[in-house]
Each structure stands twice: as structure tokens, then as C-alpha cells.
Amino acid sequence: MRTERWPLERVRAQPRRAVRDVDALARSIAEVGLLQPLVVAEDGTLLAGYHRYLALRELGWQEAPVVVLDLDALRRELATLEENLVRHELTELERAEHLRRQKEIYELLYPWTRDGVRQNLALTKVESGDEDPADTMTAGYKGNEEEDLSPIDSTPPFARHVERVAGVDERTVRRLVRIAERLTPETKGIVRGTKVEDNQKALLYLAKLPPEVQPRAARLMVEGVPPRLAAARAEREMRESAPIPAGADPLLPPEIVYIHGDFREGMANLVDGAAALVLTDPPYAEDAVGLYGDVARHAARVLAEGGSLLAYAGQSHLREVMEELGRHLRYWWTLALLHRHGGQTIFGKDVWIRWKPVLWYVRSGRGTAEIVPDLVEGSSPEKGAHPWAQGAEEVRPLIRALTLPGDLVLDPMAGSGAFLWAAFLEGRRAVGWEVDPERYEQGRAWLMEQYARWQEGREEEGYAAVD
């Protein structure tokens, strides 16, 4: 492998049907330069950097730095790695690192096997009628028994190739590669030489965690804490140590921060992954649909991996609301909240509504395993603040199921503060925003009243214990 400067006309790039963001990449290169060279074979075939190549052509560059790879040397290294995978006793982490390196080499030798590239090349070939230039790179590939097919058709994706030559099923290959790619060097160093290094389940738990949380969880696993508990504990400790917005009210419990202001500004100031749950009840009018998208956009950043967003919604614009939420988070389920007051009639639709959707979206996947019923019994609304307020009791089981004690719960449109109070009663911390000054003052007054009653109840319990 060597680095040189080549004329761009010497680079042989196979056209693709689908390209993305070339203009943006060209602007970035014009501002900060080319940070990563193109990767080419000795004969000039472009192995990696197709979008960078297009951007350089768009900018009018005549030459560019390239990394020139010796394909024969790569094939020899690939063969050695494949032999080691079959013959040597490796830990799960060592297998993961072997497979990651194998994948890197394999997809340099056979770039059309990368995700999404095979179809683009095949479609381009059909449309242009050109001979397949990938033929120049297939010499030495031993896994092709279908000689009448083109390399694009016959060369399998990496995971399938490993299954054929090493007998490791595709799903396991993908899992192990993901482990090697996502674990930080510090995390790998912590688990090396311990039982965790050979525990695929534990390594997968670590790989799903944010990089800043992995070392903490790895140390807990090395100490003997079960993988799932170690991951949950490490995430909880990270969230508890994360700063929350200023604005503590001396008349409210320190676990509740209720802020008069726009949630978009407030959530922008939270650190990444600070919250376990976003729970909110936005307005249901058509002109408020965009608020759901704003909530989801911020939630996608401030939620921890596996965190959830629960958003109450009306029926009239449900499709548009779900589209807004789905742009930023992964849909998980729709819960049905039964109306305690018996429902209402929607005139014009001629429908008597007995339930309300509670839309459940997650960041990546779900981080807790407790069973959640999708039928939620509505509780008496807290009407002291405003006419659309919801009850606190109805969401307490959801908070228990989707968070751990000490976790941070956010309500971007807190209104009466009922959801903040529910989080407090479940031993969680809560932050909420309300932009309307009148509703904010009403909600703050209601929270103060609940807190005063709660304190009185604690005192009475203390007196009873003394008696």
C-alpha cells in the first residue's frame, strides 16, 4: 500500500445509478480540502471513494491523492485470516476483529458486494449495455462455481461468503462485525483477558451502548454484573450525572424542573442521550402537527439508546402526525387510552370516540423488557390547570415500564405538569416546558399544591410511625 498523486483521468470509476449529496460533499472539500484519499488498485480501478471522486470532478480537480493497494497482497491476507478463523481457537472478540478485517479486504477486492452497490452496478450495466468492468478484479476468487454468471451476479456478499468458506451463519457474522465496528478501543482493552471477551451476548450489549457509556458498562461486566443489568446501570448512571436545565423552583421538589419557555430552545441545551423517556400531550389541531416533528427531532438526539417517545394524539390528523414522528424515530406501537368520561362525538365524521391514540416511538430499539399493555385506562384529568390537561395516574405504569428509578423524563409541552408529577411519584427526575405564560403559572400552582399535599402526607406517615 502506498500513497501517490494521480491524474483523475487515470482513475477508472464504474458509474452507479444512485448517488447522494455530491454537491454538499463538493462544498465541504472546497472549504476544508480532501480529508480521505481515493482508494485504487494498481490498474486504476476505483475501490473506495466513489462520491469523493464525483465531487472532485465537479470541482474541476485535475489530480488527487490516492492510496494504491496491491490486490494480490490483500488476497493473501484474506486467505490467512480465513484460515485462522477456521483453524485457531479465538475468543468472540478476536473472531469479531478477524471478521471485520476480512470484510474490509473482501469489499475492497469485490466492491460491488457492499450494501446497496450490487443493485446500482447491475442497473447501470443494464441501462448502458457496457461490458462489466468488474471482470478485471475477479482473478483469484475461488468461491465462484457459476462461471457463466458475471462477477456482480456470482460473487456473494461478505456474510454469505464466510458462511460458505467457514461454516459461520450469516447472522452471526453480521453480529460479530457489528461488535468489532462499534466497540471503542478503551472498551476492548477493558474486556481483553476476561470472561467477557468470550461472551458474545455481553459484547453485543456493549456494542449497542453509546461510546461514552461502554467503558463503564464493561467494567461492571468484568466485575460480574450480568450484561443486561450492567448496561442498564451504566446508562442510568450516565443520565443521572448529566446536567439538567437550570431553573429549580424552591416551592417544587428538586427532582422537578418546570420552565416557562419554548421546548425547542430548552431541549437544544440538553446533552446527547440525557433522557430515558419523552412523554407529552401536544395540541391536536391541524396547525400543530409540525410540533410533533419538532419534538421527535430533538428526542432523536436527547434520548438514550433504547429510549422512548410517547405522544398523545388526536384522530383527525393521525396520519400526518405519524409521518412527522417517523422522520426522526422508529415506530414501535400504538397504545389505546380509554376515555374515562365515556368519549365524545366528532361531528362531521359522525364518530363516537371512546379512545385516544398514544403513539410510541423509540430511538434505535427498546431499552427495557417489561411487558406494556396496549390498553391504558384513562384517569381523572387534572383540570386545575387548563381544559385539555391529562391525568397523572394513567401514565405512571408506562413510566415504570419504560424507565428506571432516577432516569430523566421530559415533557416538552407540560401544561398542567401532570406528567412531571407522575414521573416524580415514580422516583424519576422530570423536566418540562410550557410556552404559554398563563398555563405555565396555572401548572406551577397545581404542582406546588400537589407537592404541599405530598409533604403533608409524608409528615403524617412520620407521626403515625412515631405513635
**56-84, pLDDT tens digit by residue?**
988 999 999 988 877 677 777 767 777 77
Cα–Cα distances in angstroms (integers) from residue 108 to residues 72, 165, 177, 265, 349, in the given order: 12, 18, 16, 45, 59
Q: Tell me the per-residue pLDDT of 113-139, one tens digit each, with 9 for 90 and over.
A: 776 544 444 444 444 444 443 443 333
> Cα–Cα distance between 316 and 76 in angstroms, integer?
63
The span from the CA of 110 to the CA of 242, in Å, is 45
Q: Which of 87-96, 363-372, 444-453 has the highest mean pLDDT?
A: 444-453
Alpha carbons 331 and 312: distance in angstroms, whole number:
14
Residue 27 lies inside a defined structural domain of this protein: yes
* Cα–Cα dist 275/363, whole Å: 11
Three-class SS state of 7: strand
Report the distance separating Cα 376 and Cα 355, nearest Å. 9
88 phi and psi, to 5 degrees?
A: -95, 150
Q: 384, 380, 443, 454: which is closest to 411 by C-alpha?
A: 443
User: What nine digits make up the cell of 205?
Assistant: 450489549
| Most distant CA pair in the chain, distance | 93
Label the pairing between strands 344-346 and 351-353: antiparallel
Rounded to whole angstroms, the Cα distance separating 272 from 79 reads 42
Distance CA 329, CA 308 (A): 9
Comparing 276 with 48, which gets the higher pLDDT? 276
319-374 per-position pLDDT tens digit: 999 999 999 999 999 999 998 766 677 777 788 888 999 999 999 888 777 889 99
List phi, psi (to 5°) of 245. -60, 150
Alpha carbon distance 413, 261 (integer Å): 10
- What is the helix (H) or strand (E) element at residue 57, kind and residue range? helix 50-59
More confident: 302 or 462: 302
Alpha-carbon span 356 to 334, nearest angstrom: 10
In 3-state terms the chain splits into helix, strand, coil percentages (rounded to 5) of 50, 15, 35
CA distance 287 to 285: 6
At residue 154, the pLDDT reads 67
The bridge status of strand 63-69 relative to strand 2-7 is: antiparallel
Mean of per-residue pLDDT scores for the chain: 81
Q: Is the pLDDT of residue 309 over 50?
A: yes
Decide the pairing of beta strands 351-353 and 256-260: unpaired
Note the pLDDT of residue 428.
92
Asked if residue 369 belongs to a domain, the reply is yes
pLDDT-derived band of residue 20, with 50, 70 and 90 as boundaries?
Answer: low
Distance, in Å, from the CA atom of 324 to the CA atom of 309, rounded to the nearest integer, reads: 13
In a domain, 309, yes or no: yes
| Residue 39 included in any domain | yes
> Which of 19, 35, 69 is the C-terminal boundary of a domain?
69
**Angle, helix 200-208 to helix 170-182, in steps of 10 degrees:** 50
Which residue, 18, 39, 69, sits at the end of a domain?
A: 69
Q: Is the pLDDT of residue 153 over 70?
A: no
**Phi and psi at residue 42, to the nearest 5°:** -60, -35
Q: Domain residues for 37?
A: 2-69
Find the DSSP H helices in 209-317: 214-222, 227-241, 263-268, 289-302
Residue 103 in any domain: the answer is: no
pLDDT tens readout for residues 226-254: 998 898 888 777 766 666 665 567 778 88
Which CATH number goes with the domain that contains 59? 3.90.1530.10
The answer to whether residue 209 is domain-embedded is: no
Share of the chain above pLDDT 90, in %: 40
- Answer whether 402's CB lies under 8 Å from 410's CB: no
Give a yes or no: residue 303 inside a domain. yes
**pLDDT number for residue 136:** 39
Q: Which residue's entry shows cell 443521572?
A: 240
Q: Which residues contact 455 (CB under 8 A, 6 or more apart)?
A: none
Does some domain include residue 247?
no
Q: Is residue 445 pLDDT above 60, yes or no?
A: yes
d(Cα 304, Cα 307) in Å, to the nearest integer?
A: 5
Q: Which CATH number is 399's domain given?
A: 3.40.50.150
Tell me how far apart the alpha carbons of residues 404 and 264 are, in angstroms, rounded to a whole number: 25
Alpha carbon separation from 341 to 90, 231, 354, 377 (Å, rounded)? 63, 42, 9, 11
Spatial distance between the Cα atoms of 217 and 229, rounded to a whole number of angstroms: 9
> Structural domain tally of the chain?
2
Counting every residue written for the chain, the total comes to 467
Last residue in a domain, options 51, 69, 87: 69
Q: What is the rounded CA–CA span in Å between residue 253 and residue 40?
A: 62
How many Å apart are CA 390 and CA 446, to the nearest integer?
13
Q: pLDDT at residue 410 above 90?
A: yes
